[in-house]
Amino acid sequence: MATAPLKNMLLQDVKYKTEETAWGRWRRFGYADGRLFEEFVSHMMILGMPLIHYTRGKCPETGRSVVAKGFLAVGRISVGVVAIGQASAGVFAVGQASMGLLFGLGQATCGVVTIGQLSLGLLVGLGQFATGYVAIGQMAVGFYVLAQVGIGPYVWDIRAAAPAAAEFFRGFVSIR
């Protein structure tokens, strides 16, 4: 079932429902077809950005998603120290496509430590396809590799187990 395109409200005065709370300010707009736009921005600021910024839906003024930018950013597109969203970037990022400076979790992710279907880790990568100094996955590339099919100097896969790789990975579990 196709939905009707959003009405262009760029040149109109948009009547948001705003609510001030002790934590921050909510801004909401309900479309006639039941869709909702809402945004929360906390009063508390850290390094010039809000502690929490949350967005949902399409902005009635632009017809686009608003990028959530804050210490904790939650929205379809988010940027922050902790970023959670379909596309996210931050020190710690969680999302379908995520780029985490230290940690990334998502379907396609990159960072120092990563977990995802496509996991491009610098230090540790865990996923269906993984890279990293330590890489664990169905297909993996790294220095120490535990995989169904692996590439690297110390690989433990279905073809063989390099003694150094077996010793390295057995150190994490009590396998004798």
pLDDT the model gives residue 63: 85
pLDDT the model gives residue 54: 97
pLDDT bin (cut points 50, 70, 90) of residue 86 is: very high
pLDDT bin (cut points 50, 70, 90) of residue 22 is: very high
Q: Which residue is associated with the tokens 């705003």?
A: 18
pLDDT for 9 beyond 70:
no
- Nearest Cα to 95, choosing from 120, 74, 112? 74
CB-based contact 53:34 (threshold 8 Å): no
pLDDT for 163 beyond 70:
yes
pLDDT the model gives residue 13: 77
Amino acid at 10: L
Angle (CA) 171-147-145 rounded to 5° is: 55
pLDDT for 71 beyond 70:
yes
pLDDT for 27 beyond 80:
yes
pLDDT the model gives residue 55: 97
Distance CA 157, CA 166 (A): 10
30-68 pLDDT, tens digit per residue, is 888 889 999 999 999 998 999 999 999 999 888 899 999
3-state secondary structure the chain: CCCCCCCCCCCCCCCCEEEECCCEEEEEEECCCCCEEEEEEECCEECCEECEEEEECECCCCCCECCEEEEEEECCEEEEEEEECCEEEEEEEECCEEEEEEEEEEEEEEEEEEEEEEEEEEEEEEEEEEEEEEEEEEEEEEEEEEEEEEECCEEECCCCECHHHHHHHHCCCCCC
120-154 pLDDT, tens digit per residue, is 999 999 999 999 999 999 999 999 999 999 999 99
pLDDT over 70 percentage in the chain: 91
Q: What is the mean pLDDT of the chain?
A: 91
pTM of the model as a whole: 0.83
pLDDT bin (cut points 50, 70, 90) of residue 10 is: low
